[in-house]
Structure 1
Amino acid sequence: AAGGGLAWQILASAEGPVTTPPELPAPLVRAVQARQESVRFDVLSHGTVTPRTESSLVPQVPGRVEWVSPSFVAGGFFEQGQALLRLDKRDHELAVVAAQADVAQAEMTLALEQSECDVAREEWEAREQGEAGDLVLRVPQLARAQAGLAAAEAALERARLDLGRTTISAPYAGRVRQRSVDRGAYVQPGQRLAVLYAVDQAEIRLPVPDSELAFLDLPLAYRGEAPPDGHLPVTVRAVFAGRGWSWQGRVVRTEGEIDPTNRMLHLVVAVDDPYGSGGEPGRPPLAVGMFVECVLHGRKLPEAIVLPSAALRKDDYVFVVQGGRLQRREVQLLRRERERVVLSGGVQPGELVCTSILEVALDGMTVRLDDQLP
């Protein structure tokens, strides 16, 4: 019996005293105050600058190019009505002289025929034989002479037009994109001499997902008519020579249909005076072919809850910190952006919303709040 008691004492002393595990502290979390503010939704897109007006320069008369303007080079600027090329006009000057001679001949023929008519009428009236017929009074011959004069005058006007067309002028203020002929070339009517584009306005075609259209409040049939609050403003941004620049534009129309392959609708943005006549010195132009980033400034929401994007979990709930515990709240998400989320409900202004990433986060779990709120 004594040996058994000794064995029990040895075993008891080997196990040591019974201890309880220490209680782990509640996790430390960071939280932000939900704030209510007016929000304007911006939609980001990218596109390439194109001219609003582009056309081919073609002659209306044949001839050899005898002069070209110094502006008639790729990239050259020109004003509306400025002469760009001149064709050899000697053939057309001779055509004008010939047409003038035809007019003089037709005028003489008409004068003679008018005299013949007057004589025929006087002779008939002297006979006192009643009403004379048109053939007797030479009415058809007079009408033919009048028609001949009208045709000769029209031919003269056409010859003068062709002579004027030997000077080929710019249809608008713009720039030369491509030149196809030079001095000495013989050109025919309809032959392309150059490709020109206007510089009064540039356009940018922007793809926008159909999911973003609700934030722009534009109908599919929008054709540029100003809505009650004005055109949809757009900020166009680009980097040139290592420096960022911006231009102001507006949406002028939509293409009216959604691409079924990528669910994109294309909007067209217009920027006036892209080459900046009268702008600040050193400012680059919004040149054709430039790839740009466009911020479309969409609808305004007067009251919305704004939180950091880290606060939203699985796009439908957040954890509100109340009394040292997490409280799960279902929210109504309006839009998720890169650094923030915009909610329409589920959280009240001023409430603390957890932004920390926890391995385990349960409704009602005890937490400690970091005193240094962001």
Structure 2
Amino acid sequence: MIRKLLFIPPILIGIAVLYFMASGRDAPERKPPQERARAVRVITAEPVRLVPRVTGFGSIYPGTVWSATAQVSGEVIYVDPQLKKGAILPKGTEIVRISPADFELAISQAEANIRSAEAKLAELTVTEANTADLLKIEQQGMELREAELKRKQELFAQGTVAQSALQLEQRETVAQRKKLQDLKNTLRLLPTQREVQKEQIAVSKAQLASAKLDLRRTRIKLPFDAKIAEVNVEANQFVQTGGKIVTADSLDVAEVEAQIPISQFRDMVHAGLPAGLPDGITAQTIAKVVDEIGFAATVRLRAGDDVIEWPARFARVSDTIDPKTRTIGAIVTVDDAYAKATPGDRPPLTKGMFVEIEIRTKARDDKLVVPRAALHEGKLYVVNTEKRLEIREVKTGLAQGDLIVIDEGLTSGDTVVVSDLIPAVEGMLLRPQTDDEVLAELKAEATGRATR
């Protein structure tokens, strides 16, 4: 029994030791909870030089397409040996010749008609002079007849001349008077006959000019340096008036029409629109509006890793809007499309080549821009001076590429969060880290350098 109770004293001693140790220690120190800062990438809002622009894609087509049609009928007696599809020929090259035989005969006939009419006109001048002289003679003869008639009338009254003799003299006087009147009538008709011959000469000269014009039309020449697009004629072939012979494209100017969303084009124009422009568009004001907006353009060809550019001019806006895509056609032109080509380096702007076009307006200074990704339903995440999050509503302007212009709600020097922040709680503590790469890309995008 005593042995069974021997384990109790050690247990009591252990409990006493534990109590002594516990009662001699201080209570654990409690620390207040610490707020953890979220790391975010930021940029500093800085005024930049902004070039409003839009981009689109389209195919090259020549500025001028010349369709040669036969203006006269006839047999083709000559075709330039180099007149083939794709050939480039210089201005003034005679590419087709139609037989001139019919028109040379027409010229000879018209010239003969002119000479004949001129001879008749000269004859009328001589006839007029001769008739005038003859009229004077016959006038004198009339005076003699009238005197003789008067004498016989007096003798008849005295009974010394027979009535038959008086009647004969009267008939002779009437015949003389008729001859005199015929000569006067002839003189009266001569001016009309002269006018008829003059008109005949004019008609013959018109026929001569027409024949000469047709003769020139038998030789078809290129009006400018051109690339042959289509050939529809061969030697010894008979062509009809109005028949299409050759189609050629100009080399000096190339055009591109790109379809651009109406909203983007409108925003670009609005961003580059100066004050004081007149309302409405007329033929007189459109040139001023385009000049004031300051449109400029670039045509860009991407060939693998290479990017080839041509300076271009904004020409005009297409006449219609695509109802399906709600886009507007913007047309730009490139001068010296072939002259600026370099073999092996810069190809010519050939018809059908698919290119990118960029249209710009005048640059605008002191614009605040941020990446599009930094905008959250019309709000920006801004780091305040206490490094806490401020969710700020802003008014946006032009949006192009990966940037957007902030018109109101942001000032120069503000720190803008450009990384994802989920969840975003107003006033949360942040640990900002400047992202110089994003800022550099943003500035390049604003000036247009990032598109190359």
What range describes the TM-score normalised by the shorter chain of this pair? 0.7 to 0.9
Partner of 1:166: 218
Determine the structure 2 residue equivalent to 1:152: 204
Letter paired with 2:410: V
**Comparing 255-264 and 58-67, the one that deviates more:** 255-264
Letter in 2 for 1:283: R
Kindly state the Cα deviation for residue 321 of structure 1 after the two structures are TM-superposed.
Answer: 4.5
Give the structure 2 partner of residue 121 of structure 1.
132
**Equivalent of 2:108, from 97, 115, 120?**
97
Identity %: 28
How far apart in 2 are the matches of 1:88 and 1:225?
Answer: 51
Cα 1:348/1:146, change in 2 over 3 Å: closer
Find the counterpart in structure 2 of residue 7 from structure 1: none
Which deviates the most, 192-201 or 227-236? 227-236
Letter in 2 for 1:193: I
**Structure 1 residue identity aligned to 2:215:** L
Is the CA contact (8 Å cut-off) linking 1:238 and 1:292 kept in structure 2?
yes
Change (3 A) 1:368 1:151: closer
* Counterpart-to-counterpart distance in 1, 2:89 and 2:335: 18
1:80 is the counterpart of 2:80: no
Deviations 1:42-85 (A, max 9, x none): 11122222222223201211111121124422222333333111
Shift of 1:285: 1.1
Counterpart for residue 37 of structure 2: 26
Note closer, same or farther for the CA distance 1:55–1:187 as it changes in structure 2 (3 Å cut).
same
Where does the alignment leave 5 or more consecutive residues of structure 2 unmatched? 1-27, 140-179, 274-279, 438-452
Structure 1 Cα separation of the partners of residues 360 and 128 of structure 2: 80
Identify which range, 187-196 or 49-58, moves more after superposition: 49-58
1:183 and 2:235 correspond: yes
2:393 aligned with 1:320: no
Match of 1:369 among 408, 432, 445: 432
The higher radius of gyration belongs to 2
Asked whether the 8 Å contact 2:380–2:416 carries over to 1, the reply is no
Q: 1:334 to 1:44 in 2, by over 3 A?
A: same
Paired AA for residue 157 in structure 1 = A
State the shift of 1:27 in Å.
2.5
Whether 1:311 and 2:374 are equivalent positions in the alignment is yes
Q: d(CA) in 2 for partners of 1:83 and 1:220?
A: 44
For residues 82 and 226 of structure 1, the distance between their equivalents in structure 2, rounded to whole angstroms, comes to 41
Aligned to 2:76: 65
On the 8 A contact 1:333/1:344 being kept in 2, the answer is yes
Q: Structure 1 residue aligned with 2:330, among 267, 279, 284?
A: 267
One-letter code aligned to 2:75: R
TM-score, normalised relative to structure 2: 0.70
Amino acid at match of 1:304: K
Q: Secondary structure at the match of 1:142?
A: helix
Distance 1:214 1:118, change over 3 A: farther
Once the 2 structures are TM-superposed, how far is the Cα of residue 247 of structure 1 from its aligned partner? 0.9
Distance 1:241 1:96, change over 3 A: farther
Give the one of 111, 115, 118 matched to 2:122: 111
* Cα 1:363–1:182 shift into 2, 3 Å: same
Range moving further from structure 2, 133-142 or 327-336? 133-142
Distance in structure 1 (CA, Å) of the matches to 2:90 and 2:126 = 54
**Aligned-partner Cα distance in 2 for 1:125–1:46:** 92
Q: Deviations over 1:239-262 (max 9, x none)?
A: 358632111112122246645544
Shift of 1:135: 5.6
Q: Distance in 2 between matches of 1:370 and 1:64?
A: 83
Structure 2 CA distance for aligned equivalents of residues 21 and 69 of structure 1 = 98
Within the candidate set 236, 246, 252, 1:200 is matched to: 252
The farther-off stretch of 183-192 and 102-111 is 102-111
Which structure 2 residues correspond to residues 293-308 of structure 1 after superposition, within 5 A? 293-308=356-371
1:214 equivalenced with 2:225 (yes/no): no
1:349 aligns with 2:412: yes
Distance 2:263 2:37 in 1: 41
Alignment match, 1:11: none
Residues 308/361 of structure 1: CA separation in 2 closer, same or farther (3 Å cut)? same
Shift of 1:38: 2.1
Quote the residue 2:62 is aligned against: 51
In the TM superposition, what is the alpha-carbon distance from 1:329 to its structure 2 partner?
Answer: 1.0
Deviation for aligned residue 1:91? 2.7
Q: 1:195, CA displacement in angstroms?
A: 1.6
- CA separation of 1:83/1:145 partners in 2, compared to 1, >3 Å: closer, same or farther? same
> Using a 3 Å threshold, how does the CA distance of structure 1 residues 80 and 224 change in structure 2: closer, same or farther?
farther
Q: How far 1:236 moved relative to its partner?
A: 0.7
The answer to whether the 8 Å contact 2:293/2:362 transfers is no
Tell me which amino acid in the other structure corresponds to 1:38.
R
Residue equivalent to 2:153: none
| Residues paired across the two proteins, number | 356
**Structure-1 separation of matches of 2:384 and 2:131:** 118
TM-score norm. by structure 1 comes to: 0.83
1:254-288 CA distances to partner (integer Å, 9 max, x unpaired)?
246645544333222122121126x5554211122
CA-CA distance at 1:233 after TM superposition:
0.7
- CA distance in 1 between partners of 2:346 and 2:358 (Å): 20
